[in-house]
Amino acid sequence: MSESSLIEAFLRPFDRDRASVRVGPGSDCAAVSPSRGQQLVATTDAVIESVHFDRRWFTPEDVGHKALAVNLSDLAAAGARPRWFLCALGVPREPRAVFYAARMARGMAALARAHDCAIIGGNVAAATEWSVTITALGEARRPLTRAGGQPGDALVLAGRLGDAAAAFRYLSARAAQVTRAAQVGRPVPRAALLAQLRPDPLVEAGLIAASLASAAIDLSDGLLRDLGHLCAQSDCGAVVECTTLPIGTLAAREPDALELALAGGEDYALLFAVRPRRLQALLRSIHGAVQIGRLTPPGEGLSLTERGAPRRLPARRGFDHLG
Amino acid sequence: MSESSLIEAFLRPFDRDRASVRVGPGSDCAAVSPSRGQQLVATTDAVIESVHFDRRWFTPEDVGHKALAVNLSDLAAAGARPRWFLCALGVPREPRAVFYAARMARGMAALARAHDCAIIGGNVAAATEWSVTITALGEARRPLTRAGGQPGDALVLAGRLGDAAAAFRYLSARAAQVTRAAQVGRPVPRAALLAQLRPDPLVEAGLIAASLASAAIDLSDGLLRDLGHLCAQSDCGAVVECTTLPIGTLAAREPDALELALAGGEDYALLFAVRPRRLQALLRSIHGAVQIGRLTPPGEGLSLTERGAPRRLPARRGFDHLG
């Protein structure tokens, strides 16, 4: 295995020759032409073997897709249009690593094409485990942030909750079953597991919300935890009505469906705060978006209701990446 | 250890409140205002424990410095002015990881300050080994690339060769000595080892060369290998005169000084191709720059001379990151 053969195999599935890309992969740096009047929006996120993905149930194409998807979801939360990305690979010394990387690239390239986002650079380094660290660049006239919400804003959610965590639970149990003959119940088709394997970044929803919402965050660490981040940055409390949460169909089968929806993580849904006068416009223009609560004064903290009555917060609030 | 305490400790030593940074660390994305009329120049590079650094002889501050330095060196090769960067950390679950990360940040922040380059975002993920993956963003009106050289161009080198590889050899031998009482000769002061531990990215040289050179590359994988990249992209051959190479003082003490200079790697020197009519201007304006050879027609390949007479190429040409 040589570095150049791996890079060549990795780059093959990607579209090239975008007008905005002045210098693409191959030199020390890429060069692109930003659009006038737009801010440049940047994010970086990594997926690491055995932390974020397990090769027993992630195909290499899934890994490539997910690594880019989690970054595009961050751009979506900023209301930014994806433009370009760089991809740093950690590659273990193993047979067929070039083949694995090439399949990873196929999954990544399909998603990149769907969002018209061009690969412009990258890096390859030997490592003890596979890792994919992507930096995605987008553009927005007025990027959304976690700050900007205020008491009285409605909380609106686009996407579904809990399915990624439910799928993870199913996949881990199925993998364990192979070695210890445990029961995992009736088989689940792969299509129902895609919330975990191939999350769909809600880029269009983010672009629509850019001109309507006051604050936004993408839900990677669980609704309660990410809502907590939005509240902290917007200096607000929040109340969420449990019965309004759009729980996914796989999660809904689980006995702890609500906990999965509140704290399961990896939903890559988008949570917006929006002024009451813009609420209807936002709900009308994003398919499937629902109001799940509202921001309150900061002293009131984070609370749940069930049909309007107070409900206890679950002990587990979400995912800490080093916890 | 929690994610938020690590992030807080990491960000503390960095300067904040740059005018160009509209949204810094803390939201899903950063947002910056690119300058009008400039191209955005982007690069990503990683340093990984036990591949790129050994904690027996790299302080955490060294690691932080080097992770940013290798990226700034890429921007320098493009003739770009550093503006912003994002930093993705892989963090092992170990005692004092927050303290280690905070020290790493101090080394990184000092270099960032020296080059007026603002941290705008990042990511933290659990991993089995420490890794730092940086994406650096700069600006240039006309970025230099590896392409653009032509036969007859002079090859000009800024920086010194071989010291990083000689320092690596010394540091490995000294570390081994602790366990097997080997002799490594007389001690070398830390200052002489900085080419390996704290490479100095030649940003100013790159900015000067931007308006004079026809092609450029930074030397990370060894002169011969990186010159090979420049030749491939510029569709040229090259001849290098060995006696003109600026061999560093530590490398010069080694019996194989020339091999270290040609193929040792990690020099983070800059190699430029320049049209003959601009050669004197380039040599005058970059302190310590020397002509080391010239580009030739592509059929002539890569060759060495010693006082004008042909000299055999060494067997080892440089560093392959997966080799």
Beta bridge partners, A295, equal A238
| Same domain, yes or no: A159 and A304 | yes
Is residue B247 less than 8 Å (CB to CB) from chain A? no
Shared domain for A49 and A184, answered yes or no, is no
Same-domain status, A159 and A307: yes
A131 and A7 co-located in one domain: yes
What's the CA gap between A191 and A175, in Å, rounded?
17
Number of domains into which chain B is organized: 2
| Paired tokens of B65 | 């410095």
Task: Kindly determine whether residue B40 and residue A39, on different chains, have CB atoms separated by under 8 Å.
Answer: no
Which of B95, B115, B140 terminates a domain? The answer is B140
Whether B234 and chain A come into contact, CB under 8 Å, resolves to: no
Q: Would you tell me which residues 261-290 of chain B have a C-beta closer than 8 angstroms to some C-beta of chain A?
A: none
First to last CA, chain B: 36
**Is-contact B92 A50, C-beta < 8 A?**
no
For B198-229, how does the pLDDT look when each residue is reduced to its tens digit (9 = 90+)?
999 999 999 999 999 999 999 999 999 999 99
- Determine whether the interchain pair A323/B31 forms a contact, defined as Cβ–Cβ distance below 8 Å: no
Name every chain A residue with its beta carbon within 8 A of the beta carbon of B48: 90, 125-127
Q: In angstroms, rounded to a whole number, what is the distance separating the alpha carbons of residues B93 and B97?
A: 7
Residues of chain A numbered 191-230 and touching chain B (CB < 8 Å): 216-218
DSSP state of B41: E
Mutation target vs B (from A1, A29, A267; most B CBs, 10 A cutoff)? A29
Q: What is the mean pLDDT of chain A?
A: 94
Q: Does pLDDT of A182 surpass 80?
A: no
Query: Looking at CA atoms only, how far is residue A185 from chain B in angstroms?
Result: 31
Residue of B27, B86, B230 to mutate for A, most A C-beta atoms under 10 A: B27
Residue B189 pLDDT grade (very low, low, confident, very high; cuts 50, 70, 90): confident
Reported confidence tier of residue B19, pLDDT bands at 50, 70, 90: confident
B223 within a domain of the structure (yes/no): yes
Query: How much is the pLDDT for B154?
Result: 98
Asked if the C-beta of B6 comes within 8 angstroms of chain A's C-beta atoms, the answer is: yes
The answer to whether B17 faces chain A, any CB pair under 8 Å, is: no
Q: Is the pLDDT of residue B180 over 70?
A: no
Mean pLDDT on A87-97: 95
Asked if A25 and A171 sit in the same domain, the reply is no
Which of A31, A121, A126 comes nearest B44 by C-beta?
A121
Q: Which domain holds residue B198?
A: 154-311
Average pLDDT of chain B to the nearest whole number: 94
Per the CB < 8 Å rule, is B29 touching A87? no
CATH of the domain at B249: 3.90.650.10
Using a CB-CB cut-off of 8 Å, the residues of chain A touching B6 are 322
More confident site: A15 or B62:
B62
Q: State the DSSP H helix or E strand holding residue B293, giving kind and residue range, or none if neither.
A: strand B290-296
Question: What pLDDT, on the 0 to 100 scale, is given for residue A209?
Answer: 98
Residue A180 has pLDDT above 60, yes or no: no
Q: Is residue A18 part of a domain?
A: yes
Contacts of A270 in chain B (CB under 8 A): none
Considering the domain architecture, whether residues B39 and B126 belong to the same structural domain is answered as yes
- pLDDT score of B1 more than 80: no
B268, closest residue in chain A (CA to CA): A28
Rounded CA gap, B251 and B265, in Å?
12
Of residues A52 and B20, more confidently modeled: A52
Residue A9 and residue A115 in one domain: yes
Looking at A93, A114, A140, the residue that finishes a domain is A140
What pLDDT is recorded for position A323? 61
Whether residue B73 lies inside any domain: the answer is: yes
Comparing A139-143, B48-52, B248-252, the range with the smallest average pLDDT is: B48-52
> For residue B82, which of B98, B96, B70, B99 has the smallest C-alpha distance?
B70
Residues A178 and A93 in one domain: no
Are residue B78 and residue B17 in the same domain, yes or no? yes
**Same domain for A91 and A169?**
no
B147 in any annotated domain:
no
Strand order in the sheet with B118-126: A21-23, A30-32, B39-48, B131-140, B81-91, B118-126
Who among B22, B216, B323 is closest to A2 (CB)?
B323
Q: Is the pLDDT of residue B146 over 60?
A: yes
Q: Which of B3, B34, B323 sits opposite A40 (nearest CB)?
A: B34
Confidence category of residue B27, pLDDT binned at 50, 70, 90: confident
Give the residue from B140, B173, B194 where a domain finishes.
Answer: B140
Specify the amino acid at residue B293.
G
Residue with tokens 């009329």: B37
Decide if pLDDT at A279 tops 80. yes
Q: What is the pLDDT of residue B20?
A: 84
Q: Is residue A320 part of a domain?
A: no
Strands B215-219 and B269-274: antiparallel
CATH number at residue A65: 3.30.1330.10
Does A224 share its domain with A122?
Answer: no
Which among A18, A27, A146 is the top mutation candidate for probing chain B, defined by the most B β-carbons within 10 Å of its own β-carbon? A27
Average pLDDT for residues A153-157, to the nearest whole number?
98
**What is the per-residue pLDDT for A16?**
76
Question: Are A33 and A177 found together in one domain?
Answer: no
Strands B30-32 and B21-23: antiparallel
Task: Classify residue B319: in a domain, yes or no.
Answer: no
